[in-house]
Chains A and B, each alone.
Chain A
């Protein structure tokens, strides 16, 4: 298992520089009190990991990985663990950076808002992972890219249709009722959706022919 994670990390190590550059850009913009791009950083982790699927596919790694001990299981598991680990690490570093920026700029952005923004970003990133990875395992990276475009388009369309029929103030009232438990609820939802996505991907990969 550790070996598969090491391989994934080795594959994306060249992208760490890009993440570093983005963090510097974020810090500069933050200190200058310009646009907040902190949400991009954890999201980049998923995009970088998706590129690792392309490399795997090009060199037929997946078939080779099955010839290794526990390859079918660990190949999928390592993708999820590496992505989650990277996302959380980048989210923590970005949050700390945001705190420093806010402190230096005498709390232009409240600490609470930083935490909420980062929490939402991590949740959104995990949602993308949840949807994308099973599609990638089923149809490959190229088709998955088209799939995610259609999916996002569909969600936006359905969302805007629902918004025109549902009174949003009622939804907000309901959410304020849950306010104290909102973070826990979202953490539970995130765990369930990522675990479900992992199980689906594992199942697809287990039955896959190469």
Chain B
């Protein structure tokens, strides 16, 4: 399978934070949810992919091409939504349309205005008059209107109400079906990702701690809820992390079926991405 994006051993050091050998692969035509708590390294990774930050080491390939060597060619086919970075707010959507006509070869004015209408965004109003949600929608519309082959979206649904979020998610899905586009989507709203992401990549303290298909994560992984006595019977090899609460232990296991056959503990819940994040970050390893 051809890859839309390959990140290998990406390292970047700051005074108080570093990316450590970040590696993951996004196959063509797939959506990857990129999750992690605030400050985990999601935005830094995305900035490195887009070459917004410099002096990092490692290899980043987009459509099989080196991201720095083929910068211009690659960026013609990428649509981006970056957290809090966009056009100056004294501009209007019409100004953005005129600007983008001179930047992207494939800029589609009709598509841009159709999306504006769909999202009820007035083309001649200054961005500063838009609400946070409207601005986000405009950023998304701008990212979509040049038929990109890869969308890199940093928190694209933050600030949107549930209805708008659902509209946006539907658009992402329809683009994926129509245009064979791939999407790297970082989000705190993990429920959105559970519905649309094919892969989940989890970053914590600048390190990738997990990169798997969503099906595998949600169907294979599980949370065992048990007493302390039961927990003491579990072999360390059979769980990833655990969390002790007032009345019970929550234990993250990588394979619920295997666990069931091995242990006589009946309460095994399906996992959500929220559970996974909390347990991976806050849980203990023993």
Contact = CB atoms under 8 A, between A and B. Distances in A.
A204 interface: no
Interface residues of A, number: 30
A69 B86 contact: no
Contact of B75 (A6, A55, A61, A68): A68
A3 B82 contact: no
B95 A60 contact: no
Interface string B168-196: 00000000000000000000000000000
Interface string A189-210: 0000000000000000001111
Interface in B80-131: 80, 82, 84-92, 95, 98-104
Contacts of B75: 67-71
* Interface SS of chain A: helix
Interface in A16-42: none
A52 B53 CA distance: 23
B100 A3 contact: yes
Contact of A67 (B54, B82, B92): B82
A8 to B, nearest CB: 9
Given A68-B75, A69-B76, A210 B47 contact: yes
Interface string B199-228: 000000000000000000000000000000
Contacts of A208: 54
A6 B54 contact: no
6 contacts: A2-B102, A4-B99, A5-B102, A59-B89, A71-B75, A207-B54
Which are the 5 A-B pairs with shortest beta-carbon distances?
A3-B102, A3-B103, A2-B102, A55-B88, A60-B85
Given A64-B80, A209-B55, 8 more contacts: A3-B102, A6-B102, A10-B92, A10-B95, A55-B88, A67-B80, A68-B75, A69-B71
